[in-house]
């Protein structure tokens, strides 16, 4: 029996698009957009930021230097955090699920992004019973240390946990930890998969076109 649902945030509960940041900063750096995107979101610097090894100030200073950015702190911050959009079909079911299951948010994120998430998604996050954020945990998915930290918050045995993430590598790591896993594709597929696990979700809450 499933007792705890562990949700990824990005492109599950809320949508995000890194290309919005790159588009806003591309004219302020001599780097090609693909190089800039890799530096911002796919480099060891990003890994250090999302695991809490460096601060927002250190990340910004390093990016500004390495990408030779010509912008103010305020301009960078706006471009960096203005990437999120609501995902109504999933947000709508969270309050219903919270009445029946323990909900844990498990996200690879950083302080600047999560500050925006916490503001934009305040109502949805208020239904989460625990938050596991990579910059606080000290590990990013799919590192085993991340799942071990989430397990401490799950208040359930591994076989009683169901993990939902849009990346197959993260789901595979969760299954290796002993959890059940669902690779998120779209709301309807998720609701169908919930049914296969016996997740109690009223039909009235399932509005995939919201």
- How many Cβ atoms from other residues are within 10 Å of residue 73's Cβ? 12
Cα 176 from chain centre: 20
Per-residue pLDDT tens over the stretch 25-78: 999 999 999 999 999 999 999 999 999 999 999 999 999 999 999 999 999 999
Residue 148, CB-side half-sphere exposure with 13 Å CA sphere: 5
CA distance 191 to 93: 10
105 and 8: one domain? yes
Last-in-domain residue among 29, 51, 81: 81
- 187 domain residue, yes or no: yes
Q: Which domain does 8 fall in, by range?
A: 4-15+86-205
- For residue 86, the surrounding DSSP H or E stretch is strand 84-86
pLDDT in the model for residue 209? 67
pLDDT score, position 200 = 87
β-pairing, 180-183 vs 102-107, is unpaired
What's the domain count of the chain? Answer: 2
* pTM for the whole structure: 0.95
- Quickly list H helices, the chain: 18-25, 33-41, 44-50, 56-67, 73-81, 88-98, 111-120, 122-125, 134-137, 144-154, 168-176, 187-196
Ranges of residues in the chain with a pLDDT under 70 are 209-210
The predicted structure's pLDDT at residue 171? 98
| Domain CATH number, residue 75 | 1.10.150.240
> Is the same domain home to 121 and 176?
yes
pLDDT at 68: 96
Question: 111 in a domain, yes or no?
Answer: yes
Q: Tokens at residue 197, please? A: 């696990």
Residue 157 in domain: yes
Distances (CA, A) of 76 to 21, 117, 156: 9, 17, 41
Asked whether residue 98 falls in the same domain as residue 122, the answer is yes
The Cα 134–Cα 120 span in angstroms is 19
């Amino acid at each position: 029996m499933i007792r705890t649902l562990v949700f990824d945030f990005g492109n599950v509960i809320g949508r995000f698009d890194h290309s919005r940041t790159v588009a806003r900063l591309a004219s302020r750096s001599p780097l090609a957009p693909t190089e800039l995107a890799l530096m911002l979101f796919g480099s060891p610097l990003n890994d250090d930021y999302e695991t809490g090894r460096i601060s927002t100030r250190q990340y910004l200073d390093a990016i500004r230097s390495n990408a030779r950015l010509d912008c103010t702190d305020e301009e960078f911050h706006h471009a960096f955090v203005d990437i999120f959009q609501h995902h109504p079909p999933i947000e709508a079911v969270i309050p219903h699920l919270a009445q029946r299951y323990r909900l844990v948010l498990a996200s690879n994120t950083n302080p600047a992004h999560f500050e925006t998430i916490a503001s934009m998604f305040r109502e949805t996050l208020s239904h989460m019973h625990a938050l596991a954020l990579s910059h606080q945990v000290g590990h990013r998915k799919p590192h085993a240390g991340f799942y071990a930290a989430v397990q401490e918050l799950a208040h359930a045995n591994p076989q009683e946990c169901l993990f939902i993430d849009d990346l197959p590598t993260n789901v595979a790591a969760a299954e290796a930890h002993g959890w059940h896993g669902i690779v998120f594709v779209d709301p309807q597929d998720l609701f169908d998969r919930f049914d296969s696990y016996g997740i109690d979700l009223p039909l009235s809450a399932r509005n995939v076109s919201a």
